[in-house]
A = this chain, B = another copy of it.
Amino acid sequence: MSFETTATIASFGGKLLKLAHQAKSTSCLMKLNLYLPPSASSSKPAPVLFYLAGLTCTGDNGAEKGFFQAKASEKGIAVVYPDTSPRGLNIAGEDDSYDFGSGAGFYVDATKEPYSKGYKMQSYITDELPKALFAEFKELDSSRVSITGHSMGGHGALTLFLKNPGMFKSVSAFAPITNPVNCPWGQKAFAGYFGEEEKSKWSEHDATELLPKYPDETDILIDVGTGDNFYKQGQLLPENFEKAAKSAGKGVKVRYQDGYDHSYFFISTFAGDHVEHAAKYLLA
C-alpha cells in the first residue's frame, strides 16, 4: 500500500479519502484528498478530474470549499485534490513568502539549486501521483483523466495539459495565471525555480507561449471574476491568453464573471460548470 488513508469521510453520497504517501519526486510525505463518487467501483471505474489549488493552499481547500463533490457525485467523476508543493524540505527561505516555496510549487520541476532538490511538482502531478493512484485505487479509470485548477493551479492545469498532449481529456481553469513570464508571481517563481539566466526555459511553462504550439484543437473553459484584485493587478493576464488563442485559431472561452473575486466563493459558484465541462469529455 503506497498510500495511508488517514480519514474516510462521507460526502455527497460518495467518499472523501484523506491520503498521505511518501513521494520520490518531491522527497517528502505528500498529503492529498481523493473524492470517490458513489458510482465508482472496480468493475465500473470512474473517470478522474484533477483539481490543482492556488498559492498558500493545500489539498484541503478545494475539498472543503470548492463544492466540486456535488456535481462530481451526480456525474460519477472522481476528484483528486493534491497539495501545492513539497513540505518540510528544510530549504533555507522555503517558508518565507506566500508566493514562492512552500504552498507555491507552480507545478514545475525546478532546475535551480536548492529548489531542484524536491520542487518537482510537474513530475509529481503528471507521473508519480497518477501512477500511484491508479495502481492502488481500482475505482479509478486511468484512461479518462481531465484537469482543472485555480490561480497558480490554473496555470498548472493549462500548462500540464498543453505540455502533455493526450494525457488529459480536457482542461479548464478558475482565474488562472495564464502568462507567468509577464507577471510578478510568475517572474519571481521562475527566477527561483529556473534562474534568471535560463529565461529561454521560462516560456516552456507559460500557457500563453505554449498554446500556439499545441498540436490539436482545444476547448478550454476559463472563468475570471471582474472584481478579482489579482486580475486587476495584472497577475492573471487572461487577455494575453485570449489573444494567443485568436492568433493561433485555438478554442478558448474566457468568461468574465461580473463582480466575482479570487476566493472560493467564486470557485464554488462555477465549480459545477467546470465539472460539466470535464464530463463532456470524460463521459463522451
Q: Which residues of A contact B (CB under 8 A)?
A: 9-13, 16, 64-65, 67, 69-70, 225, 227, 257-261, 263-266, 268-269
23 A/B residue pairs, CB under 8 Å, sorted by A: A9-B261, A9-B263, A9-B265, A10-B225, A10-B227, A10-B257, A10-B258, A10-B265, A10-B269, A11-B265, A11-B266, A11-B268, A11-B269, A12-B268, A12-B269, A16-B265, A64-B64, A64-B65, A64-B264, A65-B65, A67-B268, A69-B268, A70-B268
Distance between Cα atoms of A227 and B16 in the complex (Å): 14
Q: Which residues of B contact A11 (CB under 8 A)?
A: 265-266, 268-269
The minimal Cβ–Cβ distance linking A5 to chain B, given in whole angstroms, is 15
Q: Cα distance A13–B263 when bound, in Å?
A: 14
Best-surrounded residue of A13, A70, A266 (most CB of chain B within 10 A): A70
Contact A67 B64 (CB under 8 A): no
A261 CA to B8 CA in the complex, in Å?
10
Closest to A12 in B: B269
Q: Chain B: which residue is nearest A225 at the CB level?
A: B10
Q: Report the Cα distance A10→B266, complex, angstroms.
A: 7
Chain B proximity of A269: nearest CB distance (Å):
5
Q: How far is the CB of A37 from chain B (nearest CB, A)?
A: 12
A156 vs chain B, min Cβ distance (A): 24
Complex CA–CA separation, A257 to B225 (angstroms): 37
Residue of B nearest to A269 (CB): B12
Could you tell me the distance between the alpha carbons of A192 and B67 in the complex, rounded to whole angstroms?
38
Residues of B within 8 A of A258 (CB): 10
Tell me the bound Cα distance from A259 to B263 in angstroms: 30
Give Cα A269–Cα B258 distance, bound, in whole angstroms: 28
**Contact: B259 with A10, CB < 8 Å?**
yes
Q: Which 6 A-B pairs have the closest CB atoms?
A: A10-B259, A11-B265, A10-B260, A12-B269, A9-B265, A67-B67
**Which of chain B's residues have a CB closer than 8 A to the CB of A257?**
10
